[in-house]
């Protein structure tokens, strides 16, 4: 099947580990991120939520029920409450990993601060690892999420990348308002507008103010491959989530997307290498 705008086989596609190597390890645990780094991921991806006492933690859902042995909304719990929970034993209870995680890193809640420490340690070795941070909305803390996030990035000297170098950090969200806040406060940070569907006003390839990169879900790509061409014609890069199946990886490569967000970085990197796209 041929689609419009196939790119040069020499063009590489960035592989971003979705919540870490989350097919192999519990999502958003330090073990999942270490595995993604070991597997050769070009970038890591995480979701962030603000706790009741003002800490940014890497948790996808509004509530902790699915990914821990606790209950309740992240925004109503303090970091100490989350630290007492098991965030890993829910996954693959009958199997042990075929690799050797650090004790505790499979089950402990992960703060964004700790992930940034690991991230900067890896970059200090000379590896150009990147990090995509998704702000989760709606939340009771609204704009405080972006405020705390930028404070933390400033502490790590990551909020103002040099103009002549690619930013190691990008901010993603389904909330255009969140991205607008980020762009207003830190204009050098790339922003990715995530989409589960394409609203009528954006069908021509435009993005909301404050957004620089399009982040369509794989369902959009399968159903409307021509939309990727419109995004590219409008001058936008395209980062697709969540791409796990070989047929979807191949379609993304055919359409010339710039980045693939996947739970399976090792497998996707291998397939892209076979396609000459990594």
Percent of the chain with pLDDT over 90: 86
This prediction has a pTM of 0.94
Q: Name residue 46's beta-bridge partners.
A: 133
Give φ, ψ of 183 to 5 degrees: -65, -35
The residue-averaged pLDDT of 154-164 equals 95
- The pairing of beta strand 43-50 with beta strand 56-57: antiparallel
Q: Is the Cβ–Cβ distance between 109 and 59 less than 8 Å?
A: yes
Dist. CA 225–CA 253, nearest whole Å? 12
Structure tokens at 157: 């000297």
Domains of the chain: 14-274 (3.20.20.190)
The residue-averaged pLDDT of 240-248 equals 98
Enumerate the active-site residues. Answer: 18, 60
Q: Is the pLDDT of residue 67 over 70?
A: yes
What is the pLDDT at residue 94?
A: 55
Q: Is the pLDDT of residue 9 over 60?
A: no
Query: pLDDT tens digits, residue range 193-237?
Result: 999 999 999 999 999 998 999 999 999 999 999 999 999 999 999
Structure tokens at 193: 């507008």
Query: pLDDT tens digits, residue range 99-145?
Result: 567 777 999 999 999 999 999 999 999 999 999 999 999 888 889 99
Q: How many C-beta atoms lie closer than 10 Å to residue 227's C-beta?
A: 21
Query: pLDDT tens digits, residue range 87-98?
Result: 998 887 555 566
Structure tokens at 106: 């499979």
Residues 6+ apart with CB under 8 A from 80: none
Dist. CA 116–CA 152, nearest whole Å? 9
Residue 11 pLDDT grade (very low, low, confident, very high; cuts 50, 70, 90): confident
What is the pLDDT at residue 91?
A: 87
């Amino acid at each position: 099947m041929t689609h419009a705008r196939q790119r040069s086989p020499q063009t590489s596609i960035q592989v971003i580990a979705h919540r870490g190597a989350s097919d192999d390890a519990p999502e958003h645990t330090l073990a999942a991120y270490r595995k993604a780094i070991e597997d050769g991921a070009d970038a890591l991806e995480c979701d962030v939520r603000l706790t009741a006492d003002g800490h940014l933690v890497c948790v996808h859902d509004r509530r902790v029920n699915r990914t821990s042995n606790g209950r309740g909304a992240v925004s109503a719990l303090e970091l100490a409450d989350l630290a007492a929970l098991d965030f890993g034993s829910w996954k693959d209870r009958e199997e042990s990993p075929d690799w050797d995680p650090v004790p505790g890193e499979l089950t402990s809640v992960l703060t964004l601060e700790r992930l940034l420490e690991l991230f900067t340690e890896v970059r200090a070795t000379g590896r150009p690892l990147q990090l995509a941070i998704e702000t989760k909305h709606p939340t009771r803390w609204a704009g405080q999420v972006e405020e705390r996030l930028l404070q933390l990035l400033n502490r790590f000297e990551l909020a103002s990348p040099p103009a002549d170098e690619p930013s190691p950090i990008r901010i993603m969200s389904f909330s255009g308002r969140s991205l607008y806040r980020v762009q207003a406060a830190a204009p050098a940070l790339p922003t990715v507008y995530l989409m589960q569907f394409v609203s009528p006003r954006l069908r021509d390839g435009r993005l909301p103010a404050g957004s620089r990169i399009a982040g369509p879900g794989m369902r959009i790509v399968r159903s409307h491959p021509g939309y990727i061409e419109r995004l590219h014609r409008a001058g936008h890069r395209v980062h697709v989530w969540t791409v796990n199946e070989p047929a979807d990886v191949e379609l993304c490569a055919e359409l010339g997307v710039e980045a693939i967000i996947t739970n399976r970085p090792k497998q996707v990197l291998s397939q892209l290498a076979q396609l000459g796209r990594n």
